[in-house]
Amino acid sequence: MLPNVDVPETTSPRSRRRRRNLIAVAVVAVLAITGTVVAITVSGGSRSGTIINGCTIGPRTQCPDVDFTNANLANANLKGANLRGAIFNGASLAQANLSGADLTGASFDSANLEGGGVATNLSSAILTNAVFNNSTLVNVNLGGADLGTAKLTGIRPTLQIYGTPKALPTGWVLVDHVLQPG
């Protein structure tokens, strides 16, 4: 219980000092608890709850046209998110879950989508008119992903592609888990 701050000035200096100290302790306790909650939210492996440029990271989030340039979205769970027209230039999406996400017209210039021990998941993602320029696509799940009108430029033959995409851009093939011009 917080002390009553509407205390007449006739109280002793000792009482006023005690009340100020109690209020200060209460404020510090609230800040400490809030800081712990924020630290738990931000440090979690999924990055859910983190806010980047006004977009709350999490499944089914609605963040069209958001700018994630150079953002660290490694391990982020953006399953089923609306990220139409988002900018991921230079961003790290290593081991992120973007399955079922709408990434229509998104830009991935120099983005890192390399999944380490766990594949970056783009299964069933809508990548219509998405642009991958000099992006790293290694250990990525593209099962059911629609890349039919995506633009892939500066992409080296990419290893460890999992799943069968719904569509690939004209001039690209998937052979033995390798995405390559063909």
The answer to whether residues 103 and 161 belong to one domain is: yes
pLDDT at 180: 87
Same domain, 74 and 125: yes
pLDDT band at 48 (very low <50, low <70, confident <90, very high): low
129 with 164, same domain: the answer is yes
Chain-centroid distance of CA 48 in Å reads: 8
- Whether 29 and 54 map to the same domain: the answer is no
Both 158 and 80 in a single domain?
yes
CB atoms within 10 A of CB 104: 20
Q: Does 11 share its domain with 83?
A: no
| Cα 18 to Cα 114: distance, rounded to the nearest angstrom | 57
User: Are residues 143 and 63 part of one domain?
Assistant: yes
Q: pLDDT band at residue 114, thresholds of 50, 70 and 90? A: confident
Last residue of a domain, one of 11, 26, 43: 43
Q: Which H, E and C letters describe 27-86, residue by residue?
A: HHHHHHHHHHHHHHHHHCCCCCCCEECCEECCCCCECCCCECCCCECCCCECCCCECCCC
SS3 of 119, please? coil
On whether both 37 and 57 belong to a single domain, the answer is no
Instruction: Please tell me whether residues 2 and 90 are part of one structural domain.
Output: no
Q: C-alpha angle with apex 37: 35 to 42, nearest 5 degrees?
A: 90
1-17 pLDDT tens trace: 555 555 555 667 777 77
The CATH number of the domain holding residue 125 is 2.160.20
pLDDT digit string, tens, across residues 124-180: 999 999 999 999 888 899 999 999 999 999 887 666 898 999 999 999 999 988 888
| Domain count within the chain | 2
Say what the pLDDT of residue 42 is: 37
Q: Which domain holds residue 128?
A: 46-182
Write down the pLDDT at residue 33: 61
Can you tell me the mean pLDDT for 99-109? 98
- How far lies 33's CA from each of 37, 48, 100, 117, 144, in Å? 6, 19, 36, 35, 44
Instruction: Identify whether residues 64 and 154 lie together within a single domain.
Output: yes
User: In 3-state terms, what secondary structure has residue 17?
Assistant: helix
Tell which of 28, 43, 58 closes a domain.
43
What is the DSSP code (8-state) at residue 181? E
Q: Which residue has the higher pLDDT, 14 or 42?
A: 14
Pair 33, 73 in one domain: no
Assess whether 33 and 91 both reside in one domain: no
User: What pLDDT, on a 0 to 100 scale, did the predictor assign at position 44?
Assistant: 40
Average pLDDT over all residues of the chain: 84
Q: Which tokens is 6 given?
A: 């509407």
pLDDT at residue 43 in the model? 35
